[in-house]
Amino acid sequence: LWLRVSTFLYLNDFDAGVQHVWGIEIFTKSEVEAVNGTSVKLTCTFSSTEPVSLQTASVIWDFRSITILYYQEVPYPIEEGLFNGHVQWSGDIKRKDASITLNNVRPAFNGTYFCQVTNPPDVHANIGETVLRVVDKVTLSEISLLGAIVGGSCVVILVFLGVFVAVRMYKKRNKENDIEMRVEEYRNKQPTVW
């Protein structure tokens, strides 16, 4: 809160009549879920009022009070502690993408991650926040969704199969009736000999 208040005061600069606008907007998913032991991408994209400068644009990813990755021209992932070997840069500054991937996630990775981007002279921005939930296995909602998709697909296939069989039977019956009618007509047209 203090950061936002001080930023607001700085942006307003107490200049009457001067309207300041956020230079950078950060976009993140509010919540991401990952299965323990898998990899998960924490998406962070941004828009800037200035052209992106590959030399001066920078990205900071924080978890709690720890900076887990710093990027300026090249990524500098943390090389010690809990996240050592787990953080990978997966963004592309030219495409305004500041995303990272966490590999082999653990329950200790549960929590809120913060993405900050600067692109001088645009240095004032909101901070992107993503809550990561690490679960032991696929949640019931995901299993239910998968079951619904598979079950629904089977029902659709069975309906199409039923319609196909019904149409074939209808055509076959009409064909048999048509043949019987022709035979009867043929017999009726033939003179009877006694």
Q: Which of 11-25, 30-44, 72-86, 161-175 has the lowest mean pLDDT?
A: 11-25
Two tokens at 168? Answer: 């074939």
> DSSP readout, 119-145?
BTTB--B--EEEEEEEESS--HHHHHH
Q: Does domain 22-137 have CATH number 2.60.40.10?
A: yes
Rounded-to-integer distance, Cα 164 and Cα 147, Å? 26
Per-residue pLDDT band at 124 (split at 50, 70, 90) = confident
- At residue 138, the pLDDT reads 64
Sign of CA dihedral 108, 109, 114, 118: positive
**H or E stretch at 32:** strand 31-35
Whole-model pTM? 0.61
Report how far apart, in Å, the C-alpha atoms of 137 and of each of 33, 104, 106, 107, 142 are: 10, 14, 12, 12, 10
Two tokens at 194? Answer: 């006694």
Rounded-to-integer distance, Cα 81 and Cα 66, Å? 10
**H or E stretch at 59:** strand 58-63
Say if CB 119 and CB 53 are below 8 A apart: yes
Check residues 138 and 26 and name the one with the higher pLDDT. 26
For residue 140, is pLDDT > 70?
Answer: no
- Where are the chain's structural domains? 22-137, 138-194
For residue 42, is pLDDT > 90?
Answer: yes
Per-residue pLDDT band at 10 (split at 50, 70, 90) = very low
